[in-house]
Structure 1
Amino acid sequence: MNVRVRRGIAIDTRRGVLLALLVTLLGACAAIGDRDGVPSEPVILVSLDAFRPADLGRGLTPTLDHLLAEGAHAASMRPSFPTLTFPNHYTLVTGLRPDRNGVIHNTMTDPDLPGERFATSNRAAVQDARWWAQAEPIWTRVQRSGRRAATMYWPGSEAPVHGAYPDDWAAFDPEVTPEQRVDTVLGWLDRPVARRPVFISLYFEHVDKAAHHDGPDSPAAAAAVRRVDAALARLVAGLAARGLEDRVNLVIVSDHGMATVAPGQVTYLEDLIDEADAEIVTTGVLAGLRPQPGRAAAVERVLLGRHAHMECWRKQALPARFRYGTHRRVPPLLCLADEGWIVSTRARMAALAHVSRGEHGYDPALPSMQAVFIARGPAFVAGAQVRSIDNVDVYPLLAHLLGVGPGPHDGSLQPLRPLLKPDRMPPPVAPAQPLPLR
């Protein structure tokens, strides 16, 4: 199977022409100034969806264990709330928490977009820039610096955010194997310097898929862990064969962890409220409800507060540590399941082809929700470790490694400074101000 990679096309034609000319000129300069015509220290950002710190060191991940030993890492990385795939992937590349980047859930509606609904399975919505426009991903910062960026899958990369796609991108296709994805990335690095990206993203969903279906501690999940580790071995070997092993900064992350869900551990909303009284926007670990006009008091009276296996709040009353609830896309009422439970309706559960044995979306403080952070390359101290970081800290690190000015973000480079070589540590700077919500 051939991987269908698309070239980014700027919506503003004049901007695209000028940018192309600038890339060509800078590429020519790089070819003169850099050894062997290779741009200095490209960055490859790899996401292993739902990969947990607990998946390391169990004999399943020789490549990752080797990278952890000879590279730098955090013992754990706290995801942002809610601990879901699309919100956290966009946080990783924008530095803004979901409540600020606008991707507040895998499924969402927007009062400013009446009648429209975003869902990860809705290809038209995923490719609609309006859902992504409240933040600027790192690849557009790179392009604005006159260099190229490429994405081998990443939430947000299929839409022309702020008018442009990545220079190379691919619409997500689960049939494309991990090996094909790696080979596509290596092919980008084989290009002449003027067309070679300095930022590349690479995404693997396989652990998430297996852990949802069979549980995070299942044999199927273990097989998926082995599979993505083998793909990383292929990537590392490919870099070494090209003489790039010590000239590329490799940053490996996950978006969240995964918790086991036993069959039957469901809180049914219709046992508490009349479904006619509220639009149920989302179900699962984090349920969102929008009461019908005149029915808010009745719904709140029975929902708000602690229940046997969930807790419900008005969005403005969520615990402050979640840093969530101010965005217009967040439904007025939220119910968060206890670890190992979900919130749904009988009709929605009956419509499922398979009942999940693993879930995420829970409190980011839970050990089961923690993500991984491993980095190796010329910018990092071999064997360095920090205890824990927040995933908003990845964005300022990427900006620093790529030499681009970061946009407004919620993170800090400070927690990651012990991982950087002394000559790679920039002077402390004041945190950037957040973008206003639109």
Structure 2
Amino acid sequence: MILRPLTLLALFLAAPARAAPVVMIAIDGLRPVEWQRRDNGLDLPALRGLAAGGTGAAVTGVLPTVTYPSHATLMTGTAPRRHGIANNLTFDPLRRNNEGWYWYASDVQAHTLWQAAVGGGKRVINVHWPTSVGLSGLAANLPQIWRTGTPDDDKLIAALATPGLPAALVAEAGPYPPGIDESIAADEARAAHAIALIRRTQPDFATVYLTAFDHEQHEAGPDSAAARAILVRIDAAVGKIVAAARAVDPQTLVVIVSDHGFAATSRTTNLFAPFIKAGLIRLTADGTGIASWDAIPWTAGGSAAIRLARPGDAALTARVAAVLAQAARDPDAGIDRVLDSAAIAAAGGSADAAFWVNCKPGWLMGNRLAGAGPMIVQGEPTTTHGMHGYFPDVPAMRASLIANGPGIAAGKDLGVIDMRSIAPAVAARIGVKLRDAELPPAF
């Protein structure tokens, strides 16, 4: 793993840092190639204009390169091992939590930009950023959460959002979309609500999350015509948010970030099969559920953490290592690398993982139980055409950073930076400090 800390170099070289309003917009799945290359036929005036007038970088992410751990790193400047958001879905080996995600701010174990800003007396708003349910002290919070995808989810958002929201914004911004809606229309609606909140609250710090590009890349694949069309519309939404923020305060710093890159996929490997065969997972009588387990994969897109029921059991650890080694030797199993606990620690991954398994390019991790025989390991086709979650040193997983505003060096390319460097730099611009950031800001 080549995951040594990379400093942010000199993101803000042109002037000393001073407190300024910051709008931080996350575009899920935005690769640097989309906005850095001008010969790819994409019309992205907002992103490319911000990059030309500001500073950009490719970003090495975290283990695993999936949405929630990455967004927690963008908020804390720490790796998942420190902030505690180890995956998208919570660890639920018996599958009782109805695919519950890390929606709750209380799950984040490190100091966040939201907390630092509120503690510094700043006005803060949030629209749809991951792990934002239950944030306190914000001027306005529209957190990301869903459960059933039915109209009851609208009541859930209303109950968990800042009192009166989103109903108070309907006349100005239209209906607020349910959290499970990852369409471009939903992103455009959330952008409209962000604009309304920026105008109403004049925040010192705003976070906005847009998800449709990620969704379309999963469905149609990276570089697909469908995904590219979505990004063009997201670019237009970003342009409107930036214009609204700078109409309120021309000194606003705009920070565009993403959480991970993307890779095309066509086949699935399924570590559940060899674990069931080895007796490490025992199924219910009808074969459709898990009755008990000694070791189990915790899938994360293109990789999987391996959790042990008894982490200190040396015999169990050796048994699991042998199962993984045998699977990795199978050329048809789609396994790239296996990390042990020491390598996971060095990469900043969860302390609860005894091993971490990475898929080969073109493969993703599956978790099907029914009929979990050898053939499931050997490359079932998948209808998912794009995936992330692979080890962060895989170049295709690189995320994006664009910073634009007063004092930001124009037209500067920082090369490849570490994702943990971003949050402390943003904190300094807001005029606050993160307690737990693992890398210092470079200004």
TM > 0.5: yes
2:213 to 204, 207, 214: 207
Alpha-carbon distance, 1:177 to partner = 2.7
User: 1:22-37 residue pairs with structure 2 within 5 A?
Assistant: none
Paired residue for 1:177? 186
Alpha-carbon distance, 1:385 to partner = 2.2
Distance 1:78 1:205, change over 3 A: same
Q: Identity of paired residues, percent?
A: 29
Distance 1:105 1:81, change over 3 A: same
For 1:256, give the aligned amino acid. Answer: H
> Is 1:62 aligned to 2:45, yes or no?
yes
Paired residue for 1:30? none
Alpha-carbon distance, 1:89 to partner = 0.2
Cα distance per residue 1:313-369 (max 9 Å; x no partner): 4641326652324x2xx33232221222123344379999x7311111112122210
3-state SS, counterpart of residue 126 of structure 1 = coil
Alpha-carbon distance, 1:304 to partner = 3.6
Paired residue for 2:304? 287
3-state SS, counterpart of residue 255 of structure 1 = coil
3-state SS, counterpart of residue 115 of structure 2 = helix
Contact 1:107–1:282 (CA under 8 A) maintained in structure 2: no
User: 1:323-338 residue pairs with structure 2 within 5 A?
Assistant: 323-325=348-350, 327=351, 330-338=352-360
Alpha-carbon distance, 1:46 to partner = 0.5
Cα separation, 1, equivalents of 2:208 and 2:34: 19
Paired residue for 1:12? none
> Is 1:372 aligned to 2:389, yes or no?
no
Paired residue for 2:204? 198
Q: Which has the higher contact order (CA 8 A, sep 6+)?
A: 2
Paired residue for 2:163? none
5+ residue gaps, structure 2, are 1-17, 145-178, 282-292
For 1:69, give the aligned amino acid. Answer: A
Cα separation, 2, equivalents of 1:289 and 1:40: 43
2:112 to 137, 161, 170: 137
User: 1:63-212 residue pairs with structure 2 within 5 A?
Assistant: 63-74=46-57, 76-109=58-91, 121-122=99-100, 126-127=103-104, 129=106, 131-132=107-108, 134-160=109-135, 164=136, 166-172=138-144, 173-175=179-181, 177-191=186-200, 195-212=201-218
Paired residue for 2:12? none
3-state SS, counterpart of residue 341 of structure 1 = strand
3-state SS, counterpart of residue 26 of structure 2 = strand
Cα separation, 2, equivalents of 1:339 and 1:68: 30
Cα separation, 2, equivalents of 1:179 and 1:211: 18
5+ residue gaps, structure 1, are 1-38, 415-424, 426-438
Paired residue for 2:269? 266
For 2:88, give the aligned amino acid. Answer: N
Cα distance per residue 1:18-47 (max 9 Å; x no partner): xxxxxxxxxxxxxxxxxxxxx963100000
Q: How many residues align?
A: 357
Alpha-carbon distance, 1:397 to partner = 0.7
Paired residue for 1:355? 383
Distance 1:223 1:249, change over 3 A: same
For 2:126, give the aligned amino acid. Answer: T
Contact 1:260–1:357 (CA under 8 A) maintained in structure 2: yes
Cα distance per residue 1:47-97 (max 9 Å; x no partner): 0000111212323222211111112212x1111111110000000010110
Contact 2:298–2:307 (CA under 8 A) maintained in structure 1: no
For 2:437, give the aligned amino acid. Answer: H
Cα distance per residue 1:121-155 (max 9 Å; x no partner): 526x52372x22x1121011111111221111111
Distance 1:219 1:275, change over 3 A: farther
Cα separation, 1, equivalents of 2:261 and 2:371: 23
TM-score, normalising length from structure 1? 0.73
For 2:199, give the aligned amino acid. Answer: D
Cα separation, 2, equivalents of 1:256 and 1:271: 29
Alpha-carbon distance, 1:166 to partner = 3.0
Alpha-carbon distance, 1:185 to partner = 2.3
Cα separation, 1, equivalents of 2:370 and 2:190: 34
Cα separation, 2, equivalents of 1:51 and 1:349: 36
For 1:287, give the aligned amino acid. Answer: A
Alpha-carbon distance, 1:300 to partner = 2.4
Cα separation, 2, equivalents of 1:257 and 1:277: 33
Paired residue for 2:423? 395
> Is 1:247 aligned to 2:251, yes or no?
yes
Contact 2:199–2:245 (CA under 8 A) maintained in structure 1: no
1:53 to 32, 37, 44: 32
Cα separation, 1, equivalents of 2:424 and 2:341: 28
